[in-house]
Amino acid sequence: MSILQPTSPYTYTMANKSISSRNLAGLTFFSGIIFLLLNLTSIHSEYYLGEDLVEITVKMTESPADIHTRSTATTRYSLKTAEYPCEFWLSFSAYKLIKDDKAAKKQLDQIIAGDLVTVEIRANKKIYLEQSSAAMPVMGLKTQTSQILDSKKLEQADKKRLMINIGLSILAIIGGILIFFFSKESNPLNSVAENFS
């Protein structure tokens, strides 16, 4: 049996670093899992992936409003109409497409109460138009004279954003596993334990 040698401060420092690495591994891994689940469960509410759409022409009761949502800490555009009590709104990707197109953004800002606009919404959401609590994502938007939001461009943008978010989630999960594996392999406490044998 070998004689137990005193553990050096270096060993304790390395042990603390190993524990920190494993904590980081857990945080990275579970953050990736949570982010992945959030994206997968919100596919049909946050992303437009080419589902069937229907067009509805409505009269605006006010100009499009910039609404800050506390629950998601994001800003979105809300459209209120005379025909339906539900809230029509532009998603993150939809508003970004319009914002990046100066002509489209100008046309959106020029919409006032009384204007007729045509919105494209998911066909399977049409049954919720009469519900005041319903939030209706807009996939396409046009006035009588111009196209403000093209649903085809939105589909491309959302598919790209979804793939990026899923890719980042998977990278975080793999990164967490690798950090945990290498921190375990380099753990100096393993060598300390061998002194007892």
Domain region containing 75: 48-158
**Both 26 and 55 in a single domain?**
no
Are 13 and 66 part of one and the same domain? no
pTM of the model as a whole? 0.71
Q: How many domains does the chain have?
A: 2
Q: What is the pLDDT at residue 192?
A: 45
**Are 79 and 117 part of one and the same domain?**
yes
67/84 Cα distance (integer angstroms): 19
Predicted local confidence at residue 185, as pLDDT: 60
Q: Are residues 78 and 133 in the same domain?
A: yes
How is residue 112 annotated by DSSP? -
Indicate if 116 and 186 belong to the same structural domain. Answer: no
Q: Are residues 97 and 149 in the same domain?
A: yes
- Spans of the chain below 70 pLDDT: 1-19, 21, 68-75, 184-197
The residue ranges of DSSP E strands in the chain, in sequence order, are: 53-59, 65-69, 74-79, 87-90, 116-122, 135-137, 140-143, 147-149
123 and 36 share a domain? Answer: no
182 and 120 share a domain?
no
- CA atoms of 197 and 195, how far apart (whole Å): 5
Instruction: Look at residue 4 and tell me if it is in a domain.
Output: no
Residue written as token pair 């959401």: 125
119 shares its domain with 154: yes
For the chain, how far is it from start to end, CA to CA, in angstroms?
6
* pLDDT 10s digits, 20-58: 767 777 788 888 888 788 877 777 778 899 999 999 999
DSSP H or E run through 181: helix 151-185
Whether 22 is in a domain gets the answer yes
What per-residue confidence (pLDDT) applies to 10?
46
Does one domain contain both 56 and 123? yes
- C-alpha 103 chain-centroid distance: 26
What is the chain's Cα-based Rg? Answer: 26
Does residue 1 belong to any structural domain of this protein?
no
